[in-house]
Amino acid sequence: MESATIGKSVSELHELLVHKDISSTELTKAYIDRIKSVDPALQAYLTVLEDQALAQAAEVDEKISQGQALKPLEGIPMALKDNMCTEGIRTSCASKMLDNFYPPYNATVTERLRAVGTILLGKLNMDEFAMGSSTENSYFAKTRNPWNLECVPGGSSGGSAVAVAGDEAAFTLGSDTGGSIRQPAAFCGVVGMKPTYGAVSRLGLIAFASSLDQIGPFTKTVRDNALVMNAIAGHDPLDSTSVPYETPDYTKFLVNDIKGLKIGIPREYFGEGIDPEVAKGIQAGIQTLIDLGAEVAECSLPHTEYAIPAYYLIATAEASSNLARYDGVRYGYRADSNDVLGMFKKTRAEGFGQEVKRRIMLGTYALSSGYYDAYYLKAQKVRTLIKEDFDKAFETFDVLLSPTAPTPAFKFGEKSADPLAMYLSDITTVPINLAGIPAISIPAGFVKGLPIGMQLMGKPFGEGSLYRVAYTFEQNTNYHTLKPNLSGEVLSCAGR
């Protein structure tokens, strides 16, 4: 049962449910068995909700038995990154600070997925408070890349990417502040979409950097990704940054045709720091698109070199503000102390990990008196220039294309001792968050046996064009069909 079903796409699973070839309960059990089998090695999950998931599946099966029509995601087992609120279910942000936090409400995306009948399997590991590019910063465990257990899965949504790549969920949600959906999607060989800022509600997403954070889906295929976007996108009146716009049916853009579509290749995204083998793999992907009728030309995004410093000023400043609430008074971890000030200090010293403390300190400094104009304000001005670069490029091109990450997945410990080297691994992804535009990563080949991703960038609310190009590429390549070999022997070695 397990091998015959859990490797399938959401679309295929839906057909099995509709034709009663499998029940939602059987499907859910298969995923739970898979989690029990491989997750001791992969460490994608922080919480598994076996009883709740089976109860939800039984509700769907009752509906099927009554002959009611199934929605596209109904009865499909999925999981959420552990920074999305789930009522009564621990939501830890992979931090000691929130180890005992059980939200009193659901995030909007949690509500919307429940409304369409999905089955919540559990909550997924991540870098603490979404701060990191490798999922090495989790307080609880280091999630492993299923393609090579000695390599990181990317971050901060490492658990979300691994759960899909390792067949531990049919789809997952992650959050992306500077590449945290796209980079792990590339490292793990799955599809990851960062929607336009404001396209998906952030209500109930525990904040890192509020002007950059965005929720999006991880899936096996582009079609699955569009189906999940159909469920989660759209205006939320409870989120002041949610944009009122007419949400399309994203599956309507899934046509195997890009003839005449104009694709720009930013030269800055193929410069210093990009692994030559990754560049070669992406160039091969570009040639595939040319052969399929796309019109491809080089372009320039001249302020790209300032993206990393601008991002790490803006993101850390917003993190410093957002994380001020964790003081031991309201909720979360509370240290023992003889006085209030001592309790504040000990709570934050003991509750936060090293990377979170580093970013709070950087952000507090950037916002401090006398430095605000020199750092934070200037970074915001640079952000505007970066956005204008994209606006100008999109006057000529429908879509822009680059590598998702400058290298394939790296080994554990390879960059964790050098924060700057780790930050530079986001060079091709952070400009997209600064500009607020959508971008998707799709599997585009292998380097040294590890997946690499192709990043497609679009105009604001231009997710449809990204799906069109991504779907066409996927239909004419086989990278998305290849799976990591998670044999019992490999897993038992990893567990030792």
Catalytic residues: 81, 156, 180
Q: Do 74 and 60 form a contact (C-beta atoms < 8 A)? A: yes
Contacts of 432 (CB under 8 A, 6+ apart): 179, 182, 194, 438, 439, 455, 457
Structure-block tokens of residue 257: 């045709």
Most distant CA atoms of the chain, gap in Å = 71
Structure-block tokens of residue 56: 């939800």
Structure-block tokens of residue 248: 């399309």
Structure-block tokens of residue 91: 């939501």
Cα separation, 342 vs 416, in Å, equals: 30
Q: Is the link from the previous residue into 156 a cis peptide, with omega within 30 of 0?
A: yes
The strand pairing partners of 232, in sequence order, are: none
